């Protein structure tokens, strides 16, 4: 009904999820959160993949004659999906028991 407002809400949700992911990854680097051993490498590589997917989605939307809101929405989807997946995964892994690594 209000496509621009809906897009703004989706961006806000993605930003909130991204902040949570950054916090959990920083806690993981400090030894307080359970993360995969490859977390640092993965977080670098995934940005390239998500950016490429967003660019492809945006290009397809433009080529299909979509407007700015629909194009932005198409570009947001792959990035928001990756951020949401990371937030869920890191939330499920949870904090480490005991003290930080030395």
What DSSP designation does 95 have?
A: B
DSSP for residue 31: T
> pLDDT band at 97, cuts 50/70/90?
confident
State the average pLDDT for the chain.
94
Confirm whether pTM is higher than 0.85.
yes
Contacts of 54 (CB under 8 A, 6+ apart): 75, 76, 77, 78, 79
């Amino acid at each position: 009904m209000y496509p621009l407002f809906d897009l703004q809400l989706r961006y806000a949700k993605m930003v909130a999820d991204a902040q949570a992911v950054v916090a959990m990854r920083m806690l993981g680097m400090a030894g307080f959160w359970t993360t995969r051993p490859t977390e640092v490498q993965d977080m670098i590589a995934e940005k390239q993949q998500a950016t490429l997917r967003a660019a492809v989605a945006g290009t397809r939307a433009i080529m299909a004659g979509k407007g700015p809101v629909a194009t932005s929405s198409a570009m947001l989807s792959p990035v928001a999906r990756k951020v949401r997946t990371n937030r869920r995964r890191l939330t499920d892994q949870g904090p480490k028991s005991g003290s930080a690594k030395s």
